[in-house]
Amino acid sequence: MTADRDHNPYDLKTSEDHGHDKKPDGYLDDEELKNLLNSRGIIFKRTDNLPRFAHNNNIAMLKIKREGQHGSSPTVYRRPTPEKLEKIKEDLRNNNNSFLGRKTLKEKADEILKFFDNARSPAPFNEKLDALPKNGESGWDKEVQKKRASIVKERNEKCDSRTSIARKVAKSLGVVCNRKYVRKILEKHRSSQIEKKLLKAE
């Protein structure tokens, strides 16, 4: 024998509790909330998942009186503010298990490869450093130290590391990106070029 379905799993207030037989002002039904989410880039197709989505994202809900004698009482949702919707979208983009999160992973991978392919090789700077006297040959006088520091500074400003690419991707897409993910993508797609194009020291 199967258990009866729980028609109010989130213990929402019903019309008997809040006194509204119909949808109150400032609330949306399933279709209205779904359409609002989709209009803000939060892709949603199945309205039966909306109560769980609203619960997980702290969107207030109520149960109103159903029409007729069959079925469960409809759920209505307090209209989220634009700021709330942006926060939900940002959270979903950084959640790899969501539709937006999976889409964002693809966008991050594309951006990582773009920045890597456009990265400036550190080789010419390293050659300049190698051409300078080594420590001990000239005692690394102040002039040599100054030249080395200048070359290293320019190299670090104009060349990329995994960390700098992660920062560029985060700024470009407005999402979280770290050097670990950059490393994963580059090792998968550009493994033979990493040593030539990235700074060794990060």
Last residue of a domain, one of 93, 110, 139: 93
Q: Are residues 81 and 39 in the same domain?
A: yes
Task: Give one DSSP letter per residue of 108-129, joined into a string.
Answer: HHHHHHHHHHTPBPSHHHHHHH
Q: Are residues 69 and 84 in the same domain?
A: yes
Tell me if 53 is assigned to some domain: yes
Q: Are residues 135 and 75 in the same domain?
A: no
Tell me if 150 is assigned to some domain: yes
When pLDDT is averaged across residues 160-186 and rounded to a whole number, the result is 95
Q: Are residues 33 and 50 in the same domain?
A: yes
Tell me if 3 is assigned to some domain: no
Q: Are residues 136 and 186 in the same domain?
A: yes
Q: Are residues 85 and 110 in the same domain?
A: no
Tell me the pTM: 0.70
Last residue of a domain, one of 37, 60, 93: 93
Residue with tokens 């209505």: 76
Q: Are residues 38 and 119 in the same domain?
A: no
What is the per-residue pLDDT for 4? 46
The overall average pLDDT reported for the chain is 87
Tell me if 8 is assigned to some domain: no
Number of domains in the chain: 2
What is the domain extent for residue 61? 15-93
Last residue of a domain, one of 70, 93, 116: 93
Q: How many CB atoms lie within 10 A of CB 133?
A: 14
What is the per-residue pLDDT for 134? 73
List, for residues 43-91, the tens digit of each pLDDT value: 888 888 899 999 999 999 998 887 755 557 889 999 999 999 999 999 9
With 90 as the cut, is the pLDDT of residue 186 above it? yes
Q: Are residues 47 and 33 in the same domain?
A: yes
Asked which of 2-11, 111-120, 182-191 is least confident by mean pLDDT, the reply is 2-11
Provide the phi-psi class of 68: left if phi over 0, else alpha when psi is between -120 and 50, else beta.
left
Contacts of 173 (CB under 8 A, 6+ apart): 104, 107, 108, 111
With 90 as the cut, is the pLDDT of residue 164 above it? yes
What is the per-residue pLDDT for 77? 95
Tell me if 192 is assigned to some domain: yes
Q: Are residues 108 and 170 in the same domain?
A: yes
Q: Are residues 108 and 190 in the same domain?
A: yes
